[in-house]
Amino acid sequence: MAFKMEESKKLNRYKRIYNQLSELLPKSNDTLARMATVIAVLHHKMDYYFWTGFYFLKDGQLIVGPYQGPVACQELEKGKGVCWTGIQRKEPVIVPDVEQFPGHIACDPRSKSEIVLPVKDDNDEIIGVLDIDGKELNAFDKTDEQELSGIIRLIYES
């Protein structure tokens, strides 16, 4: 389990990222710039992340936004996979093993686990998802869900 991070270390890492983003994001009012910054900081600070990015709802489709990691699917087949499940359930989805998730869309076979969190704008409308793939099975848990939810809120609230 080379990339499995100990819980207290993980929490401390998230707190530091949150503090860093609280300082960085207010430097621009542009939502896309803020999102790109969130992705860059998360992806480079969390070594168990394999792919980190946003998918945006556009005309009933999910289209890739700012991301870091290997080249990913630009559009996700409607109603299929983990990202669409997050949109439909309107809540975070944690997938310990992507191969066990029916309909999972594999953009890269090296992705082993996944977390998806719906992103709401300042009108409380879901505009897409934050999608993170893990290098190992079972990479994500409630700590990731809780801390990433707080980080997402910074995009519109800071």
Where on the chain is the footprint of ligand SME (CB under 6 A)?
51, 72-73, 76, 81-83, 104-105, 107, 111, 114, 131, 133
To ligand SME, the closest distance from the beta carbon of 51 in angstroms equals: 5
To ligand SME, the closest distance from the beta carbon of 152 in angstroms equals: 17
User: What is the DSSP pairing of strand 49-58 with strand 61-68?
Assistant: antiparallel
Of the two residues 5 and 107, which places its CB atom closer to ligand SME in the complex? 107
Residue 33 backbone dihedrals phi, psi, to 5 degrees: -65, -40
Q: State the residue number with the nearest CB to ligand SME.
A: 81
Of the two residues 21 and 93, which places its CB atom closer to ligand SME in the complex? 93
Supply 27's token pair.
């430097």
Q: In what order do the strands lie in the sheet with 49-58?
A: 75-76, 61-68, 49-58, 126-134, 113-120, 93-95
| Residue 72 neighbours by CB distance under 10 Å | 18
To ligand SME, the closest distance from the beta carbon of 16 in angstroms equals: 25
